[in-house]
Amino acid sequence: MNFLVNDSSCHSNPKSTDNTAAHDFVALVGSPNCGKTTLFNRLTGMSASVVNYPGATVDYMVAPLNKAWGTGLKIVDTPGTYSLFPKSPEELVAVKVLFETPHLGIPRAVICVADCTQLSRHLFLLRQLKEAGFPVILALTMGDLAEKEGFKIDPVRLSEALGVPVVPVDGRSGKGIPELLTTAEQLGGTTIPKPLTTWTFEKQWKELQTIASVSSLVRLTVPRTDAESPRQLTRRVDRVVLHPIFGILFFGLIMGGLFSSVFWLASPIMEIISVGFDEAARWVTGFAPDSLWADLAGNGLVVSLGAVMVFTPQIFILFVVISLLEDSGYLARAASLVDKPLSKIGLNGRSFVPLLSGFACAIPAMMAARTIPSRKERFLTLLIIPLMSCSARLPVFALLLGFLFWGKPAWQPGLALAGLYFLSLLFGAIVAALLRKRLKIEEKSFFILELPVYRRPNWRAVLKSSHQKTLNYVLEAGPVIFTLAVLLWAATTFPKYDAPTPAEKLEQSFAAKAGRFIDPLMEPLGGDWRTGVALISAFAAREVFVSALAVVFRVPEEDENSASLLGRMQQAQAKDGTPLFTVASIWGLIIFFMIALQCMATVAVARREFGNWKFPLAQLVGFNVLAYALAAGVVQTLKAIGIN
Amino acid sequence: MSAPKITELQPGTEAVLVAIEGDRQLVERLGEIGFVQGETIVFHRRLVFNGPLILEVRGVPVALRAEEACCLQVRVTRT
């Protein structure tokens, strides 16, 4: 069985006393972007995200060796680190795995992965590992890339020079893996490695001189196959991509393409999933129309499952596109390009990828923020990630914009939606700029990012890793959304579960009581208890707002789609007989959804990533109060100037 | 007179690092990437809006902010 272990759980693993497991694992370590994760995937058959962006692995992963290679060994993959002196949370994970894994024991061997073309830098970590007392093997990757550059590495001489076994491997084809494993089998850590304490600048300098001379000693020139080496090609592409004018244009083009492709590709699939689950719910309740159990199974369980699954196409597609960009090497350039503007609001170029992922889902986005070394910048990034317009907001915006642009050509709501995305980004920037002064963390910020050579993305790996990330979303957010959705079902069903009509059942329900309780609060938003119920329901998952509105406005079961819901909404009347939904109140709801933090799964992940409750709670209360205040302000202003 | 900082030079310059001075953690990290005394570096370009510098060290382009690059004192070998 494959499983993902995250940092926070590694100290509380119940298997920690299993001593027989000691010596049965091999750890993979290496500098960022050295080909470590590709090798891990080849060894285990797992599909961790393999990308051409420094800092792709932010958690450590454990998986058994693929049966094709043998049995008995477990492989641990660690986040890339330049040295045993961590400078960011992900690097800390790597060092912790090596020194503090009581439940794993002492590694049988540590495989230090180094890129042939980067030997004079990547051997640095190997020297530290050896000095700390680990049984080390050097795995040389990217031999093909080196040959394209016109050289190759002599493993025998390298092994003699370093005093450790050296095995050239090819993570993509699997070449060299049997030799690597045989070598690992023969090693066996007996002494307990000790963290390095006596590492000085002078020593660092000497080490770098040593590895530079070793690297040039083992380098053999070979005839180049291509006219242009990958490095030359990279330089040529960078002249355009990093150009002051063309670079910015290219960046805009890529981002525009990214978001439009997500909408065009995902919306039809989301429609199918949503209709499919509605059908399934009807089919399940149809078995016993009046029984509470069939209602729970259909309208509770199946609908809740649908609420979780409906976002998966968008998340998957967004991750595919992001992975393609990462894998090609472009994202490192994009992060460098936006470092300056982001630093103006207290963020870092490395905040770019987490914020971008936030448009899919805040959960993986928050995990991606671990690559930001400075705590202050990481916290600011984590704080504004929930403001990025995630895919759960899309169905809500689609409904509300559908109301505003009723009967207008389709490009108008489309443009308005793009505007909302931009507005959410702008709002996030304002919040970050305001909070940076308030956040009392004095920590030096730095931005140092390697720009990898451009590579053709590996489609198979991209699809597999996107699948894995989407699965992570389902596993992380799923249970929370699911539980809350079932609770919502209960709140809208009880106590009058045997009422003759659904409408009566709802009006007597706990949810309606709660809705009426907050009725005065809904007044400034231009809503009443019914909007209140739907808003409370949205705390299960934002898109539940749409189905909750459908329930409270008693859309007949036969045509419970948003078109007829829109019709109902237009007919809905407030207490005084005026229309309930007006331009003003719809804008109020849009603003509310743009800012409010309604996703409890995000709060749970934020708790883990911040490492305390203070920030996630401040985020939860702050964004919701702000959302309410701004929404009320917008509604009242619009009313005052006569837009209704 | 101390050696010029890489940030004071024009893009396209090739230079040898003569000293790295600054915050301890930063100097350590720069060293781990390959920015050590005696190393030849190429200043490729500066990104738009006074953004990060692109410096090549040991064959790899690295993006770093001017604040970080300020640590790097150099002797120009080719302009």
The pLDDT, as a whole number, for residue A424 is: 92
pLDDT of residue A335: 94
Token pair of A322, please? 């992001």
Task: List the single residue in B27, B60, B68 with the smallest CB-CB distance to A118.
Answer: B60
The CATH number of domain A3-221, selected from 3.10.129.10, 2.40.30.10, 3.90.180.10, 3.40.50.300: 3.40.50.300
Q: Which residues pair with A151 in a beta bridge?
A: A221
DSSP per-residue letters across A229-297: -HHHHHHHHHHHHTSTTHHHHHHHHHHHHHHHHHHHHHHHHHHHHHHHHHHHHHHHHTTSTT-HHHHII
Alpha-carbon distance of B20 to B70, in angstroms, equals 9
Note whether B63 contacts A83, CB cutoff 8 Å: no
Q: To the nearest whole angstrom, how far is the Cα of B39 from the nearest Cα of chain A?
A: 9
What is d(CA A322, CA A344) in angstroms, rounded to the nearest whole number? 24
In tens, the pLDDT along A264-289 reads: 787 788 888 888 988 888 898 888 87
**How do residues A343-359 score in pLDDT, each as one tens digit?**
999 999 999 989 998 98
Joined together, the tokens standing for residue A207 give 């080490």
State residue A184's pLDDT score.
Answer: 86
- Over range A373-385, report the average pLDDT: 91
Kindly state the average pLDDT of the residues A397-418: 84
Banded pLDDT at A21 (limits 50, 70, 90): very low
Chain A interface mutation, best of B43, B60, B72, highest count of A Cβ atoms under 10 Å:
B60
Q: What single-letter amino acid sits at A351?
A: S
- Interchain proximity B36–A205, CB inside 8 Å: yes
Reply yes or no on whether the pLDDT at A200 is more than 90.
Answer: no
Residues of A with Cβ-Cβ distance to B34 under 8 angstroms: 120-121, 208
* Averaged pLDDT, A446-462: 87
A positions 518-537 inside 8 Å of B (CB): none
Nearest to A444 among B23, B30, B37 (CB): B23
- Residue B35's φ and ψ, nearest 5 degrees, are -80, 90
Number of residues that make up chain A: 644
pLDDT at A556 over 70: no
Q: pLDDT tens digits for A441-451?
A: 777 778 999 99
**Mean pLDDT estimate for chain A:** 82
A40 has a pLDDT exceeding 60: yes
Lookup result for tokens 């050696």? B3
Is A231 in Cβ contact with B32 (below 8 Å)? no
Q: Which residue has the higher pLDDT, B55 or A363?
A: B55
Q: Per the CB < 8 Å rule, is B58 touching A118?
A: yes
ipTM, two decimals: 0.94
Distance to chain B for A242, nearest Cα, Å: 7
Distance of CA A264 to the CA centre of its chain: 21
**Mean pLDDT for the stretch of residues A411-432:** 89
B66: how many CB neighbours lie within 10 A of its CB?
Answer: 15
| Out of B28, B58, B64, closest to residue A85 by CB | B28
What local confidence, expressed as pLDDT, does residue A60 receive? 75
Nearest CA in chain B to A124: B32
Q: Does the distance separating the beta carbons of B62 and A450 come in below 8 Å? A: yes
Say if residues A46 and A63 touch (Cβ distance below 8 Å): yes
Strands A151-153 and A61-64: unpaired
Contact residues, chain B to chain A, C-beta under 8 Å: 23, 25-34, 36-38, 44-45, 47-52, 54, 58-65, 67-68
CA distances to A90, A290, A414, A604, B23 from A7, rounded to whole Å, are 9, 48, 41, 15, 29
Q: Write out chain A residues lying below 8 Å of B63, CB-based.
A: 332, 335-336, 339, 349, 447-451
CA-nearest of A137, A126, A94, A152 to A208 is A126
Are A201 and B27 an interchain contact pair (Cβ–Cβ within 8 Å)?
A: yes
Q: Using CA atoms, how far apart are residues A36 and A407, in angstroms rounded to an integer? A: 54
| A143-164: average pLDDT | 90
CA–CA distance, A605 with A615 (Å, rounded to integer): 12
Q: Are B68 and A446 in contact (CB < 8 Å)?
A: yes
- pLDDT at residue A9 greater than cutoff 50: no
Q: What is the pLDDT of residue B56?
A: 93
Closest approach of A528 to chain B, Cα-based (Å): 49
Task: Tell me what pLDDT residue A238 has.
Answer: 94
More confident residue, B23 or A434: A434
| CB < 8 Å from B in window 14-73 of A | none
Q: Flag whether pLDDT at A635 surpasses 90.
A: yes
Chain B CB contacts of A212 under 8 Å are 58
Contact A139, A227 (CB under 8 A): no
Candidates A81, A117, A208: best to mutate against B (most CBs of B within 10 A) is A208
Tell me, yes or no, whether B63 lies in a domain: yes
Between A266 and B75, residue with greater pLDDT: B75
What pLDDT is stored for residue A290 in this prediction?
74
Query: Between A58 and B20, whose confidence is greater?
Result: B20
Distance CA B73, CA A91 (A): 28
E strand or H helix at A219: strand A219-221
* CA distance linking residue B22 with residue A322, whole number of Å: 35
- Following DSSP, what letter does each residue of A46-68 receive, concatenated? ------SSTT---S-EEEEPPGG
Q: B74 lies in a domain?
A: yes
A219 to chain B, any CB pair closer than 8 A? The answer is no
Least confident of A110-124, A332-346, A491-505: A491-505
pLDDT above 70 for A555: no
- In-domain check, residue B73: yes
Domain for residue B30, yes or no? yes
Q: Do A121 and B34 touch (CB under 8 A)?
A: yes
CATH number for the domain including B62?
Answer: 2.30.30.90
Domain definitions of chain A by residue range: 3-221, 246-390+409-443+458-462, 477-640
Of A99-113, A114-128, A386-400, B3-17, where does mean pLDDT reach its minimum? Answer: A99-113
The pLDDT of residue A103 is 64
Say if residue A206's pLDDT is above 70: yes
The answer, yes or no, to whether residue A500 has pLDDT greater than 80, is: no
Q: Which amino acid is at A637?
A: T
* DSSP notation for A362-405: HHHHHHHGGG--SHHHHHHHHHHGGGS--TTHHHHHHHHHHHHT
Query: Residue B36 belongs to what domain range?
Result: 6-78
* Block residue for tokens 């960022």: A32
Give me the mean pLDDT over the B18-35 stretch. Answer: 88
**A643 alpha-carbon distance from chain centroid:** 40
Mean pLDDT on A509-523: 85
How would you class A216 by CB atoms within 10 Å of its CB: exposed for 0-12, middle for 13-18, buried for 19 or more?
A: exposed
> A230: cis peptide before it, omega within 30°?
no
Hey, is the C-beta of A205 within 8 angstroms of any chain B C-beta? yes
Q: Are B5 and B74 in contact (CB under 8 A)?
A: yes
> What is the C-alpha separation between A83 and A211, in angstroms, rounded?
14
Cβ distance of A339 and B31 shorter than 8 Å: no
In terms of average pLDDT, the best of A2-11, A27-36, A246-255, A550-559 is A246-255
Residue B1 lies in a domain: no
Are B68 and A231 an interchain contact pair (Cβ–Cβ within 8 Å)?
Answer: no
A204 CB neighbours in chain B (<8 A) are: 28, 31-32, 36
pLDDT at A388 over 90: yes
Instruction: Give the bridge partners for A139, in sequence order.
Output: A113, A167
Mean pLDDT for A369-379 is 86
Give the span between the Cα atoms of A560 and A269, in whole angstroms. 18
Inter-chain residue contact A209 with B27, CB threshold 8 Å: no
Cα–Cα distances in angstroms (integers) from residue A175 to residues A15, A131, A149, A169, A183, in the given order: 34, 29, 20, 6, 14
**What pairs with residue A30 in β-bridges?**
A113
Total number of domains in chain B: 1
Q: Name the residue facing B32 among A82, A343, A446 (closest C-beta).
A: A82
Q: Is there a contact between A120 and B34 if contact means CB atoms under 8 Å apart?
A: yes
Question: Where residue A242 falls among pLDDT bands split at 50, 70, 90?
Answer: very high
Q: Nearest CA to CA, how far is B49 from chain A (Å)?
A: 7
For position A18, what pLDDT does the model report? 38
Contacts of A145 (CB under 8 A, 6+ apart): A115, A116, A117, A230, A453
pLDDT of residue A46: 61
Say what the pLDDT of residue A564 is. 64
Give CA–CA dist A312/A290, Å, rounded.
32
Q: Per mean pLDDT, which range of A125-139, A455-469, A487-501 is the poorest?
A: A487-501
Highest mean pLDDT among A179-183, A398-402, A405-409, A511-515: A179-183
Q: Closest partner residue to B47 among A124, A332, A336, by Cβ?
A: A336
Distance CA A448, CA B31 (A): 12
Distance from CA of A185 to the nearest CA of B (A): 30
What was the pLDDT predicted at A23? Answer: 58
- Answer for the pair B62, B56: CB distance below 8 angstroms, yes or no: yes
Q: How far is B1 from chain A (nearest CA, A)?
A: 24
Per-residue confidence band for A179, with pLDDT thresholds at 50, 70 and 90: very high
Q: What is the pLDDT of residue B66?
A: 92
Contact B29 A244 (CB under 8 A): no
Q: What is the pLDDT of residue A563?
A: 56
Which of B41, B48, B71 best probes binding to A when mutated, by most A CB atoms within 10 angstroms?
A: B48
Which chain A residues have a beta carbon less than 8 Å from that of B51? 336-337, 339-340
Chain-chain contact of B59 with A340 (C-beta, under 8 angstroms)? no
Average pLDDT in the B9-31 region?
89
- Alpha helices (H) in A439-501, listed in sequence order: 459-493
Per-residue confidence (pLDDT) for residue A111, from 0 to 100: 94
Q: Is residue B10 part of a domain?
A: yes
Sheet with strand A25-30: strands edge to edge:
A3-4, A61-64, A74-77, A25-30, A109-115, A136-141, A166-168
